[in-house]
Amino acid sequence: MDTTSTTEKIQLHASSLEELQHVLQTGLKSNFAEVEVSVVDCPDLTKEPFTFPVPGPFPTSLLHNYITQ
């Protein structure tokens, strides 16, 4: 029985935050009356209201969605 395996490396597309923002904004607009999607600095998640126990390797920015039906 052959138990060897191979690994194949492929190049993947990494979308920019602006591209992701546009795609989310467009998609959400078709389902909600008011939508605002923006790219902002990541909050300190160790503080209220999140209170994570330790700082982690969080991204430098976070996508926020403000949705009102």
Q: What is the pLDDT of residue 69?
A: 38
Domain tally, the chain: 1
10-residue mean pLDDT profile of the chain (69 residues): values are: 83 91 94 90 84 68 42
Q: What is the pLDDT of residue 44?
A: 82
Residue 12 lies in a domain: no
Residue 5 lies in a domain: no
Residue 26 lies in a domain: yes
Residue 38 lies in a domain: yes
Structural domain of residue 22, as residue ranges?
17-50+60-68
Residue 1 lies in a domain: no
Beta-strand ranges (E) seen in 6-58 are 34-41
